[in-house]
Amino acid sequence: MRVTNGVYLAAVTTTAMGKPDTVYPVLLTDGTEAVLIDAGYPGRLADLQQALADAEVEITQLSQVIVTHQDIDHIGGVSALLEEVRKHRSVEVLAHALEKPYIQGEKRLIKVTDEVLANLDAMMPPGTPDTFKQALRALLESPPSAKVDRTIKDGDRLPICGGIVVIETPGHTPGHISLYHEPTRTLIAADALVVIDNQLRPSFPYTCVDYGQALRSLDRFAGFAIDRVICYHGGVYESDDVNHRIAELAAESPSLG
């Protein structure tokens, strides 16, 4: 799905809690090299391959995968994708240092607590098959992992696809990052922001390890001239003054989330 020149969405869909759920990894390309930002749910490699085909990007052009944070819907597809790409070329995985041990499987995902695992069955819709419950538990206890080849931090500029700036936006997770694509003035917010009914909103409070910090992180976007935002949940948001809308959200009280 083309967003603007060199920027594409990869729609990755799975069934979560009894209903379809689509997330939006981002594919950047300059015609020579390509970068994928996040990789969707496990078992959905075909969705990523379709996105590459739609963007007319060969798998041999994919040189980097940037993982914005550790959540399963972001890391789930990384290992299968790497296995496929590395049949053809080397590819580098980048992430924040605070997220690295979770992505590599050295630590349990921060949101997969003992309490979550204990109450997992109760969270399922009535009639959920036992096989699905068992599969979900196994996935959360032992999610797909991938080696992080290089850590990135706030202010880093990646000289690929015209320039990508790393913005640390903790709160959703401790090492959550967003990215700014310089040539198209596109903010790739990951889970720092969401789009609901065509409206831009902060990440849901219940998905954040620190919702107050997540709101404060929105101030970090103020120094960037933004034409559009791509949210992992909800897709693309465009308006006449994106920066003003983000400033309004950053000023919200945590109690309003």
Query: For residue 92, what pLDDT is reported?
Result: 97
- 115 sits in which H/E element: helix 114-118
Ordered by start, the domain boundaries in the chain are 2-256
Query: For residue 257, what pLDDT is reported?
Result: 44
Nearest in space to 82 (alpha carbons), one of 72, 70, 90: 90
Task: Evaluate if pTM is beyond 0.85.
Answer: yes
Apex CA 182: angle with CA 180 and CA 187, to 5°?
30
Question: How many residues belong to the chain?
Answer: 257
Within 13 Å, how many C-alpha atoms sit on residue 53's CB side? 6
Query: For residue 132, what pLDDT is reported?
Result: 82
Apex CA 213: angle with CA 208 and CA 218, to 5°?
100
Which CATH superfamily hosts domain 2-256?
Ribonuclease Z/Hydroxyacylglutathione hydrolase-like (3.60.15.10)
Query: For residue 173, what pLDDT is reported?
Result: 98
Query: For residue 17, what pLDDT is reported?
Result: 66
Query: Which ranges of the chain have pLDDT less than 50?
Result: 256-257
- Name the DSSP letter for residue 80: H
Residues with Cβ within 8 Å of 32's Cβ and at least 6 positions away in sequence, in order, are: 61
